[in-house]
Structure 1
Amino acid sequence: MWAKLALNRLIVSLAVLLTLVAAAGAAFIWSGLYNVAASRDHFSVTTWILEKVLEQSVATQSAFIETPPLDDPDLVRLGAAHYEGGCVPCHSRPGEPINVIVSQMLPSPPHLADVAAGQPPEELYWIVKHGLKYTGMPAWPAPIRDDEVWALTAFLMELAGGEMDNYRQLAGLDRVPSGALAGTEPTHQTEAVTLTQCIRCHDDAAVSTISTLVPQLGGQSIEYLERALKEYAARVRPSGIMQPVATHLDDREIAKFADYYASLDVQPGQHVIDPARIARGRALATEGDPKNAIPRCLACHSRSRAAEFPALAGQHADYLAGQLRVWQSGGRNRTAYGQIMASIARRLTDEQMLDVAAYFASLPPEAYRNDAASASPGSE
C-alpha cells in the first residue's frame, strides 16, 4: 500500500515538473527574450547541437548513395560553369573572400574548398541536391536532374584538391570577351548578367561549348530555341542549370537569343572514333528497331523535320546520350514534345543510346540541317 502511494506521489510530482518545464518553455518562447538576430551568435551549446545534428543527419541520409565516376573533365567543367553563375554570389570564387554582405548571415556561407576537403562526395551530393534547413543553402531547383547535381559535386571534389589556378578556364570566364557583359550581343540587354553569359558554356561563332555535356546551339531553328527557353522558364523542362537562366528572360530577350544562335554556323562537335558503334547507331537512326517498337530517329530529325524539332547532326555524343537517359528516367516528360521522346527512350537500351548518340555526333554539322532541302526524311 505504501509503495503504491509513493508511486502515485512520484507520478504526480513528475507531471507537475513537466508541466512547469513546459510552462517555462512556453513563457520563454512567447516572451521573445531569445535574440534571433544574425548579428549575435547562438549560445555555444546551441551551436554545437545544431552542427552535430546537421553532420549526423547528412551522414545518415547519404549513407546508401552510390557515387559514380567523377573524374571526367567535361563533368568537372560543367559543374564549374554552373558554380560561377549559381554559387559564387554566396561562396565566392576559389581564393577570394566571401562576399561581405552574405558573410553577415548566420551561419555564414563557408568556402566550399574547406567543406569539400572534409566530406565524401556522396555527402556533398546530398547537400547540393537537398539543401540544408535554416542555413540559407537551397535545394537543387530540379531534383530529378541527378546528372547536374553530380556535375557540381565533381567540381567540388576537384576544388577540394587544393589550389585551383585554372578556375577561370574551368568556369569559362576566359571565354567572355574583355569588357563585355556577356558572350553575345543579346545578353547585353539582360539584367542577370552572370547567369546569362551564354558564351561561358555554349558555342558561338568562334568556339564550341565548354563541355561535351553542354549542347551546341548554333544552327538550331528559332522555333526550337524559343520553345526550349520557354519550357525552362515555365519549369516544365527540369534543369537546375538552365531554369535559373531562363526565368530571368522575357519574351523579347528569348527571341533575341534564338535569332542569334539560329544565325550561327555549327561548330565541330565531339569526335567519336568507334566505327562499329557508329554503324549500329546509323541503323537505328535510319531503320529503327521494329521488334522493340522504336521508330527511326530520322522520322523526326531529318532535313524535312518540323522546325520545333532539334537538329542532331554534329551534336556532342555525351550530351545526346545524357539527354536520352534523362528522358528514360522521367526527367523530360512534362511537355507534349518531351512525352514523345520519353516513350521512345524508355524502350532504348544503354548501348542503343550510346550508339545513336555516336552516329549523330559523327555526322558533319550540315547534315540534316537544311530544312529547305528536298531530301526525303530518311535521306542523308
Structure 2
Amino acid sequence: MDLKNLHWTTAATICALAAGLLAAAGAVFVWSGVYNVAASRDHLRITTWLLEAIRERSIAVRSYTVQVPDLDDEGMIRLGAGHFEGGCALCHSRPGDEINAIVQGMLPPPPDLKAVAKHRPPEEIFWIVKHGLKYTGMPAWPSLGRDDEVWAMTAFLSSLPDATNDYTNLSGISRSNVGNSAGEFVGDHPLTQCARCHENEPNGTNGDRIPRLAGQNEAYLLRSLHEYAQEIRPSGAMEPVSGLLDNNERRKLASYYSALRPAVKEKPAAPGPEQLRRGQSIALRGIPQQQVPACMSCHAGRRSPHFPLMAGQHADYIKTQLHLWQQGGRRGSAYGRIMAAVAEALDPAQIEDVAAYLGSQTYGLAAPAPTAEAGQ
C-alpha cells in the first residue's frame, strides 16, 4: 500500500475500523467474565503496575500545592493518635501490632503505617487521609471541611515510628477504662469510648486540643451531640460517634458530663501581662469598632444554657474553633452563624489574645472587668 497516496478518508476509515475492533474486543473481554476479580487472586502484573502508576501520579499531582503547617505540636499528635484509634486501627492495626489476618485478605491489603513517613511526605499523607483512595477500601475523611482534624492525623502518622512505643498514652487507651461511667450507657465500640479523649472522674482531657466538657452546660452538650449526628456541625471524629447514639444515650451523656466535676487542670504558662490585658478586654468588653461583642456577654453561664462556658477552656481548642469559624466550617446552625460573624471580625493576633486570656481563667468563671480597652 502506497501510504503517500492514501486518501485521508481511507485512513480515517481504517482508524475507525481499528477502534471499533478494539471496542468490540474490550466488550467481549468484559462480558466474558474471564478476568478474575476475586480478592484471593492477585491482579495481572500489568494491571497492578497500571493501577499503582495512576494512583501515585494522582496523589503527587493533587498534593503538590498543599501547604504543610508545623506538625511537631504534641497536642496535635495526641489528637491524631486518638482519631487513629477510633477510626483507623480497625484496618491498619495499632502501631507495632500485626495487621489483622482477616483484613489482610483485602486486595490491596491496608498498608502497615508504622513507617509511612519514610515513604511519603506530609502533604501526600494529608491528601490521602482527607480524600481516601478509590478501589482500595480507604475512605475519605467523614467531614471534608475539617482540615484541622486531618492535619492532626497527619502529624501523628508523620511522627511514626518514633511514637509507636507511646501509642497507648497518646491515643488515650490507658485512660479509657478508668472511671468511665459514660461507658455504661454508650457501649464499648472504639468510637464511643468517650474517656479516651474527654474527661473521666480522675482525668482531664487527653490534650489541649480536646474541649473540656466536665461541668459544661447540659443543654449545650445535648445540642452539640444532635448537631453532630445530623451533620450540622462538622467533625470527622464526632459525626460518626454521635451518629451511633440514640436520643436517650445522647441525653445521658450530656447529663453525665454536665454533672461531672472538672479535673484539676495543670496551669498553662501564664500569658504575658500585655497579652492578658488585651485578651481580657476582648472577653469582657468586646471590640465595638470591629462589631465584636464581649465573649462573656453570652459565655459566662448567666445567659442561655445553649451557650458553652468558655472561661478555663483550653486555649488551643478555642483558637482552633475560631479559625474554623473564620473558614466557614461551622455555619450549619443558627448558633454557628452567630459565632462565624464574630470570628470573622477578629484578626489572628486578637484570636491569640482572647484564647490565651480565657484559657488562663478559672474554669467557668470570669475575672472582674478591666480598665483598658482592647488594642490600647
Q: Alpha-carbon deviation of 1:116? A: 3.0
* Amino acid corresponding to residue 92 of structure 2 in structure 1: H
Q: Aligned pair in 2 of structure 1 residues 351, 163: CA closer, same or farther (>3 Å)?
A: closer
Residue by residue over 1:312-361, the C-alpha shift from the partner in whole angstroms, topping out at 9 and shown as x without a partner, is: 11110000111111111111111011011001100001111111111111
> In the aligned structure 1, how far is the partner of 2:80 from the partner of 2:163?
17
* Amino acid corresponding to residue 120 of structure 2 in structure 1: Q
Task: Tell me which residue corresponds to 2:374.
Answer: none
> In the aligned structure 1, how far is the partner of 2:68 from the partner of 2:244?
33
Q: Alpha-carbon deviation of 1:62? A: 0.5
> In the aligned structure 1, how far is the partner of 2:131 from the partner of 2:212?
30
- Does the aligned pair in 2 maintain the 1:288–1:294 contact within 8 Å? yes
**Mapping of 1:143-162 within 5 angstroms?**
143-159=144-160, 161-162=161-162
Q: Alpha-carbon deviation of 1:174? A: 1.0
Task: Tell me which residue corresponds to 1:171.
Answer: 171
Task: Tell me which residue corresponds to 1:276.
Answer: 274
> In the aligned structure 1, how far is the partner of 2:11 from the partner of 2:350?
72
**Mapping of 1:34-49 within 5 angstroms?**
34-49=35-50
Alignment of 1:30 onto 2:31: yes
**Mapping of 1:324-363 within 5 angstroms?**
324-363=322-361
Q: Aligned pair in 2 of structure 1 residues 5, 70: CA closer, same or farther (>3 Å)?
A: closer
Task: Tell me which residue corresponds to 2:373.
Answer: none
Q: Alpha-carbon deviation of 1:176? A: 2.2
How many residue pairs end up in the alignment? 365
- Does the aligned pair in 1 maintain the 2:116–2:158 contact within 8 Å? no
> In the aligned structure 2, how far is the partner of 1:192 from the partner of 1:237?
24
Q: Secondary structure at the match of 1:296?
A: coil
Q: Aligned pair in 2 of structure 1 residues 368, 220: CA closer, same or farther (>3 Å)?
A: farther
> In the aligned structure 2, how far is the partner of 1:41 from the partner of 1:191?
39
Task: Tell me which residue corresponds to 1:239.
Answer: 235
> In the aligned structure 2, how far is the partner of 1:94 from the partner of 1:283?
46
Q: Alpha-carbon deviation of 1:12? A: 2.6
Q: Alpha-carbon deviation of 1:203? A: 1.3
> In the aligned structure 2, how far is the partner of 1:34 from the partner of 1:142?
36
> In the aligned structure 2, how far is the partner of 1:280 from the partner of 1:292?
15
Q: Secondary structure at the match of 2:190?
A: coil
Q: Alpha-carbon deviation of 1:278? A: 1.5
Quick check: 29-38 or 89-98, which moved more? 29-38
- Does the aligned pair in 1 maintain the 2:311–2:361 contact within 8 Å? yes
Q: Alpha-carbon deviation of 1:32? A: 1.8
* Amino acid corresponding to residue 213 of structure 2 in structure 1: L
> In the aligned structure 1, how far is the partner of 2:301 from the partner of 2:211?
19
**Mapping of 1:17-166 within 5 angstroms?**
17-159=18-160, 161-162=161-162, 164-166=164-166
> In the aligned structure 1, how far is the partner of 2:357 from the partner of 2:264?
14
Q: Alpha-carbon deviation of 1:267? A: 2.6
Residue by residue over 1:67-115, the C-alpha shift from the partner in whole angstroms, topping out at 9 and shown as x without a partner, is: 0000000000000011001000000011111112221111111111233
Q: Aligned pair in 2 of structure 1 residues 44, 175: CA closer, same or farther (>3 Å)?
A: same
Residue by residue over 1:17-75, the C-alpha shift from the partner in whole angstroms, topping out at 9 and shown as x without a partner, is: 22111111111112222111111111011001111111111011001111000000000
Q: Alpha-carbon deviation of 1:185? A: 2.2
> In the aligned structure 1, how far is the partner of 2:330 from the partner of 2:345?
15
- Does the aligned pair in 2 maintain the 1:38–1:104 contact within 8 Å? yes
Task: Tell me which residue corresponds to 1:287.
Answer: 285
CA RMSD of aligned residues (A): 1.9
- Does the aligned pair in 1 maintain the 2:103–2:109 contact within 8 Å? yes
Alignment of 1:222 onto 2:218: yes
The share of aligned pairs that are identical, in percent, is 48
* Amino acid corresponding to residue 226 of structure 1 in structure 2: L
> In the aligned structure 1, how far is the partner of 2:269 from the partner of 2:301?
22
Quick check: 231-240 or 97-106, which moved more? 97-106
> In the aligned structure 1, how far is the partner of 2:144 from the partner of 2:227?
17
1:194 to 177, 190, 200: 190
**Mapping of 1:201-212 within 5 angstroms?**
201-212=197-208
Q: Unaligned stretches of 5+ in structure 1?
A: 370-374
> In the aligned structure 1, how far is the partner of 2:33 from the partner of 2:188?
39
Quick check: 339-348 or 261-270, which moved more? 261-270
Q: Secondary structure at the match of 1:76?
A: helix
* Amino acid corresponding to residue 70 of structure 2 in structure 1: P
- Does the aligned pair in 1 maintain the 2:96–2:114 contact within 8 Å? no
Q: Aligned pair in 2 of structure 1 residues 303, 94: CA closer, same or farther (>3 Å)?
A: closer
- Does the aligned pair in 1 maintain the 2:309–2:364 contact within 8 Å? no
* Amino acid corresponding to residue 146 of structure 1 in structure 2: D
> In the aligned structure 2, how far is the partner of 1:303 from the partner of 1:365?
11
Q: Secondary structure at the match of 1:195?
A: helix
> In the aligned structure 2, how far is the partner of 1:235 from the partner of 1:163?
32
Task: Tell me which residue corresponds to 1:372.
Answer: none
Q: Alpha-carbon deviation of 1:299? A: 1.3
- Does the aligned pair in 1 maintain the 2:177–2:195 contact within 8 Å? no
Q: Aligned pair in 2 of structure 1 residues 15, 60: CA closer, same or farther (>3 Å)?
A: same
Q: Secondary structure at the match of 1:185?
A: coil
- Does the aligned pair in 2 maintain the 1:79–1:154 contact within 8 Å? yes
